[in-house]
Amino acid sequence: MHLESIAGDAKEFMQLLKRTTKEKPVIVLKSGRTPEGAKAASSHTGAIAKSSDAVVDAAIKQAGAIRVQALDDFFDFAKIFEYLPPLKKNRIAIATGSGGEGVIATDLCLLNGFTIAQLSSETRDKLRSIFPPWDIPVNPLDAGVCSQFNWGTDANAVFLDALADDPNVDCAAFATHTYAYTRADPHKFVKPYCDMVKNGKPMVTWVTDPRVGGKLVDQLESNRIPVYTSGERAIRALSALYHYHATKNI
């Protein structure tokens, strides 16, 4: 919901918010964060913000609601809660299109409350089937270099299939490589994504290739796989899913 101010009985509102968040996630976009913004809000709502933004922020968090600061997060979070099952543990597996992107994604995951999963020996063996001629880390996995040395192999599918049964992995975040999509049956392409979620492992992906991005996004999201335009947005949304469910009954 979009909240500009709290008028009337603020205590009653917060109690209602707290009761609601025990049953379902509530995402709050609270505008009027600055004195100038609050003044602009009062000009068309007639309400006057009596508390500082810091006080409102603390009250929203105490009620168990999820506060966002921008419209991108508002819609990103709403999508992930609609599409994915609960996530109560935080061991994550990562695959990206380059080593540098993997470093960035790793930082994002750690800064957003995840721990890097220690993949099982079985999973490591499966991933080694798409390694280049030298040994590389498996988490984060540089799926880009794997694809370069295994032309014709869908690195996305190998990555997801390997993780699906790994008891050390709770969730995944990775960049989808669009070249594989252009050469595959769309339904077969999407199946490993769906199998991950069916195995109780929420996952997010991001697609940045505008040439096939639209069709690929439609194919994935019609199967309730959330797709984002960057790793940062994807991981931040997955973090919201994790933190809500991990703290729901605390």
Single-letter amino acid, residue 2: H
> What would the DSSP string read from start to end of 121-170?
HHHHHHHHTT--SS---BTTEEHHHHHHTSTTS-HHHHHHHHHHT-TT-S
Q: Are residues 174 and 104 in the same domain?
A: yes
Q: Which of 61, 80, 49 is nearest to 17 (CA)?
A: 61
Question: What is the model's pTM?
Answer: 0.86
Q: Are residues 102 and 183 in the same domain?
A: yes
Q: Residues for the chain: how many in total?
A: 250
CATH value at residue 53: 3.40.50.261
Please indicate, yes or no, if residue 176 is contained in any of the structural domains. yes
DSSP summary character for residue 117: -
pLDDT of residue 51 exceeding 90, the answer is: no
Q: How far, in Å, CA of 30 to CA of 70, rounded? A: 9
User: Which secondary-structure segment (H or E) carries 171?
Assistant: strand 171-175
**Average pLDDT of 196-216?**
85
Please indicate, yes or no, if residue 40 is contained in any of the structural domains. yes
**Average pLDDT of 155-173?**
94
**Angle at alpha carbon of residue 220, lines to 76 and 168, rounded to 5°:** 80
C-alpha distances out from residue 4 to 20, 42, 81, 193, 222, Å: 19, 8, 23, 38, 33
Q: Are residues 63 and 98 in the same domain?
A: no
The confidence band for 215, taking pLDDT boundaries of 50, 70 and 90, is confident
Q: Are residues 140 and 226 in the same domain?
A: yes
**Average pLDDT of 206-216?**
76
**Average pLDDT of 67-77?**
94
Q: Are residues 130 and 42 in the same domain?
A: no
pLDDT of residue 2: 60
Single-letter amino acid, residue 207: V
Q: Are residues 115 and 26 in the same domain?
A: no
Domain range holding 108? Answer: 91-247
Q: Taking a C-beta distance cutoff of 8 angstroms, is the pair 43, 4 a contact?
A: no
Tokens of 211: 């040439």
Q: How far, in Å, CA of 122 to CA of 106, rounded? A: 22
Please indicate, yes or no, if residue 48 is contained in any of the structural domains. yes
Q: Are residues 17 and 137 in the same domain?
A: no
pLDDT of residue 80: 98
Q: How many domains does the chain have?
A: 2
pLDDT of residue 169: 98
**Average pLDDT of 5-15?**
71
pLDDT of residue 44 exceeding 50, the answer is: no
